[in-house]
Amino acid sequence: MKTLPVLDLLVILAYLVGIVAVGIYFSRKNQDADQFTTASGKIPGWAIGLSIYATFLSSNTFLGVPGKAFGSNWNSFVFSLSMPLAAWVASRFFVPFYRSTGEVSAYTHLEHRFGAWARTYAVVCFLLTQLARMGSIFFGIALSLQALTGYPMATIMIVVGLCIIFYTVLGGMEAVIWTEVVQGVIKTAGALIILYLVIAGMPGGVDRVVEIGKSADKFSLGSFRPDFTQSTFWVVLLYGFFMNLNNFGMDQNYVQRYHTTTSAREATRSIWLCVYLYVPVSLMFFVIGSSLYAYYLAHPNLLEAVRMQAAADRLPGGSPEELRRLAATLSPADFGDKVMPHFMVNKVPAGLVGLIVAAILSAAMSTISSGMNASATVFSVDIYRRYFKSDLTDRQAMRLLYIATTVFGLLGMTTGIAMIGVKSVLDIWWMLSGIFAGGMLGLFLLGMISRQTRNAEALTATLIGILVIVWMTFSSRIPDEYAALRSPFHQNMIMVIGTLTIFLAGTLLTRLKRKPVFPAEPSVKNVTP
């Protein structure tokens, strides 16, 4: 830990002041709920594409991806490779569907299709997913800033969270989108600077990085064996496809943006712009992680320092000897998330640290602010107006959105504080999102594809899917004497199997209902000879 130079503090302060100023500027436009939630549908498609890209490029990507590549390999990059196929499905089917409904909520149509329970279930799944996402991002930003400032992670989350809540409540969706456009540029610039500094400080340069990476199998995309018990290429590809399909097709963060464009064509362009930007940039973060692995291997003193830091975090108050013994047992996977902050603290020149911290802050702010706005929109439309009071005045609707945005920001902050101590921020996010999103996507696909499925079949299929998801999630806790009842699948398969269970069970139940259990008796007529 060290104190940030004054120049870096000024850069960070200027960024925070600029973000708040944007919120204040757009607050003058928020006269009704439509402007707050969809910016009255007047945002150009390229800006929406950059905002979606910025939402994908969260602090989980900025810190978690290099940490994952440092500790293992490029297996998680397969998630990005699945994006084009999910984007094609979304642009072909989902965007025209949502634009034709005119509903700002992604879940209103589920009530028309299956009843109020379906809408409520999807909303609950979405809100839980958002809390998991915001919590993991709060945790990621606190992890890096703790290394720079020495302040407790909980304190950092509270301070940053209050800033995010302030500008999101003031500016609404339009402020969120335009700040994300700027944040997307800042994040990309910050990543390029870090990559340059790592390569420039590496003895032997790129050639040495490639040599070390190859010898340690750092560039592997995972095993291509058809094994679904480990994080193979196919497991991550399936998880990535279903998760990205959920993002583009069911996540209110993205669906809400489809309504902010001037046309369906612009909304489709925004999806593809996001894909064209995110796939190569996410690869760059894996390159950063592998380069950091080579860099720290070439500088054993720095590697030992980050090991000791990780040991100190795991054993607060431990003696030097205890910390050394613990540090010796830690593998790269145990402290991968700490490497990027450590490099920033020790090797990034004054002035550039402030810019990179601003990039990490923007990575957190863009995703959290859009999550807060989307959660508040869903709560307002799908819960409050549905079950409590539907005829709100403009003033009442705005007050409700302000309160809901604040509450969800505070809940996300609390979730992040509860995550302190997790091993990998990327792993915890993938696990929680897979659990909450699997049932939601399965129900949505059932409603869109199986047009003859009705309320009873959908409800039964959803209950079956929930049981499967719960079993897969908690089966590792089954006692050893019942080990045969444990799920053999990798945790990333929860999303895939949960989705397929609901869809296939609903389709099968629909066919069984249409088909009579017993064949009809043939009619016999009296025939006179």
Q: Is residue 526 part of a domain?
A: no
- Look at residues 336, 77, 106, 112 and name the one whose alpha carbon lies nearest to residue 220: 77
What type of residue sits at position 15?
Answer: Y
Q: pTM of the prediction?
A: 0.80
Q: Is residue 527 part of a domain?
A: no
CB neighbour class for 224 (10 Å; exposed up to 12, middle 13-18, buried from 19): exposed
Domains of the chain: total: 1
Q: Is residue 204 part of a domain?
A: yes
Q: Is residue 343 part of a domain?
A: yes
The domain that holds 95 is classified in CATH as: 1.20.1730.10
| CB of 445 closer than 8 Å to CB of 499 | yes
Encode the chain (529 residues) as per-residue pLDDT tens digits.
Answer: 456 677 887 888 888 788 777 777 776 666 666 666 666 567 787 888 888 887 777 766 777 788 889 988 999 999 999 999 999 998 888 888 888 877 767 788 888 888 888 888 888 888 888 888 888 888 877 877 776 667 788 888 888 888 888 877 776 777 777 777 877 888 788 889 889 999 998 988 899 999 999 999 999 999 999 999 998 999 999 999 998 988 888 877 778 778 777 788 888 888 999 899 999 999 999 999 999 999 999 988 888 888 888 888 788 778 888 888 888 888 888 888 788 878 887 888 877 878 777 777 776 777 788 788 888 888 888 888 888 887 878 788 888 888 988 998 899 888 888 877 665 555 666 566 667 676 788 888 888 888 888 888 999 999 999 899 889 888 888 888 888 888 899 888 988 999 999 999 999 999 887 765 545 555 444 444 4
Q: Is residue 519 part of a domain?
A: no
Q: Is residue 522 part of a domain?
A: no
Residue 235: phi and psi, rounded to 5, are -65, -45
DSSP sequence for 114-156: H-HHHHHHHHHHHHHHHHHHHHHHHHHHHHHHHHHH---HHHH
Q: Is residue 136 part of a domain?
A: yes
Q: Is residue 524 part of a domain?
A: no
Domain extent for 436: 6-513
